[in-house]
Amino acid sequence: MDTALRFVFFVLVIGVLTVFTHIYLYRRLFRDTSGSLAWHRAGKVLLVALCLPLTLSWFVTRLLPLNALLSMATVVWTWMGIAIYLLLTLGAVDGVKALGRKLQARKAARETPAAAPTPPAPAPVDEARRLFLARAGASGAVLATSGVVGYGAWRAFHPPVVSEVAVRLPGLPKALDGFTLVHLSDIHVGPIIQRRFMDELVARCNALKPDLVAITGDLVDGTVSGLGPAVSALTNLRSRAGTYFVTGNHEYYWNADAWTQALEGLGIGTLRNRHVRIGDAAASFDLVGVDDWSARNRGGARGYDLGAATAGRDLSRASVLLAHQPSNWSEAAQAGMGLQLSGHTHGGQFFPFTLAVAAIWRNDQGHFQQGENHLYVSRGTGFWGPPLRVGAPPEIVKVTLLA
């Protein structure tokens, strides 16, 4: 299946799931909680109004100007997070009710004599009790969702935590012992994350006094013309060896070539399947960068090419690889990369996707080591989609290299 067909299939599946989710929410929050036709109509109008832009968000973000998108994206993506937690909580309530009915049926079956000529008639439905339970379940779900979403939004916009890790890098000259890198990944500057967020992020990075700043992809979700003012905050980053960037999969949704040219214009080095020497003639190491692992088969993309990135490199030299996804760590380790810095997974970003990501990705977040080879997978510095962080706080990673 080629890329276009996979994309169409993905959009259709997500669209169908979104529609059925909203139908379920209408039934549980509106139809089951009142007999009022006006209440039912209000629920239908509200959920259709929330469902349509969410279903068509991929196309809408490419048609509307950024200013118009800002308010809409905030509402739509926040609703996505709310809908997910409403689905989970209401589903849990329905699961408990179904289990209770099943246990009651088993109890009734045990108490009914085996030779009974006719089964007992089912008890009449108490409409008032049914309505009370429906309202109690819906109210409980709304309250629980409000608490979780409120915390998740606070955590998403709250300054990222600083995670510090020390890595003993094979071949690192003693003169560079203690060299520090600040690792940023998955910032996702876009309709919601704007200049104010970026200014705060830059200030926090500068406070760490890094020797080098590395950005491992998914920096943007939009065009150069729309997001240039927000991204230009990166020019205020201060480090002795500069700032370097590699592409993530989201850059290819918004013209990766245009973005790498724009970043170069801001004084940020872009490593597209190449390496540079960090340090001086007396002491240095190689900083290697590759295009995103999934970039192959995308229009105009060069694609991941570790061979090209390391061509002509002295294998005895210390090396740090910047690669958006951790998928290629084994290959990178075999190629002599002492440390790989990656992101992409977001650590799941919010529960229950934290569990799904941990199950799918062997190296989902944090520091991993095999022999002398190291990998650090960032949970990401921003967020994508719902502005939520639950169980996976955003982070700035400070890496100290040891000789």
pLDDT score recorded for residue 122: 60
C-alpha atoms less than 13 angstroms from C-alpha of 307 in its C-beta half-sphere: 2
Closest CA to 186 of 225, 215, 143, 144: 215
DSSP 115: T
Closest CA to 213 of 292, 281, 267, 134: 267
Quickly count: other Cβ atoms within 10 Å of residue 337's Cβ: 26
**Could you tell me if 102 and 178 lie in one domain?**
no
183 is in which domain, residue-wise?
162-402
User: Strands 373-377 and 366-370: what pairing?
Assistant: antiparallel
**Could you tell me if 133 and 241 lie in one domain?**
no
**Could you tell me if 88 and 127 lie in one domain?**
yes
pLDDT score recorded for residue 115: 57
Domain end residue (candidates: 103, 122, 155):
155
Domain end residue (candidates: 155, 181, 197):
155
Which CATH number is 314's domain given?
A: 3.60.21.10
Query: How far apart are the C-alpha atoms of 174 and 323, rounded to whole Å?
Result: 26
**What's the pTM value of the predicted model, to 2 decimals?**
0.88
Closest CA to 343 of 188, 178, 149, 147: 188
**Could you tell me if 222 and 135 lie in one domain?**
no
Query: How far apart are the C-alpha atoms of 157 and 188, rounded to whole Å?
Result: 13
pLDDT score recorded for residue 300: 47
Per-residue CA distances from 205 to 165, 183, 272, 395, 402 (Å): 15, 9, 24, 11, 20
Q: In what order do the strands lie in the sheet with 269-270?
A: 161-168, 395-402, 179-184, 212-216, 243-246, 269-270
Domain end residue (candidates: 155, 183, 206):
155
- The answer to whether 171 and 316 are in contact (CB under 8 A) is yes
The two structure tokens encoding residue 126:
């108490």
- The answer to whether 401 and 172 are in contact (CB under 8 A) is yes
Query: Hey, which residues does 350 pair with through a beta bridge?
Result: 390
pLDDT score recorded for residue 269: 97
- According to DSSP H, which parts of 219-375 are helical? 224-231, 256-265, 306-309, 329-334, 353-360
Match 């990369």 to its residue by tokens: 337
pLDDT score recorded for residue 305: 93
Query: How far apart are the C-alpha atoms of 191 and 212, rounded to whole Å?
Result: 28
Domains of the chain: total: 2
**Could you tell me if 130 and 236 lie in one domain?**
no
- What phi, psi does 341 have (nearest 5°)? -110, 125
**Could you tell me if 237 and 219 lie in one domain?**
yes
Can you give the C-alpha Rg of the chain in angstroms? 26
Sign of CA dihedral 1, 254, 237, 198: negative
**Could you tell me if 72 and 221 lie in one domain?**
no
**Could you tell me if 174 and 255 lie in one domain?**
yes
User: Strands 395-402 and 179-184: what pairing?
Assistant: antiparallel
**Could you tell me if 221 and 355 lie in one domain?**
yes
- In this structure, which amino acid lies at residue 172? L
**Could you tell me if 202 and 224 lie in one domain?**
yes
Closest CA to 143 of 181, 191, 93, 214: 93
**Could you tell me if 352 and 379 lie in one domain?**
yes
Which runs of E-coded beta strand occur in 253-310? Answer: 269-270, 274-279, 284-289
- The answer to whether 337 and 375 are in contact (CB under 8 A) is no
3-state SS class at 351? coil
List the chain pLDDT tens, one digit each, 403 residues: 565 677 678 778 888 999 999 999 999 999 999 999 999 999 999 999 999 888 887 676 666 665 666 667 788 889 999 999 999 999 999 998 888 888 888 887 777 665 555 655 565 667 888 899 899 999 999 999 999 999 999 999 999 999 999 999 999 999 999 999 999 999 999 988 999 999 999 999 999 999 999 999 999 998 999 999 999 999 999 999 999 999 999 999 899 999 999 999 999 999 999 999 999 989 999 999 999 988 765 544 578 999 999 999 999 999 999 999 998 899 999 999 999 999 999 999 999 999 999 999 999 999 999 999 999 999 999 999 899 999 999 999 999 999 9
**Could you tell me if 149 and 171 lie in one domain?**
no
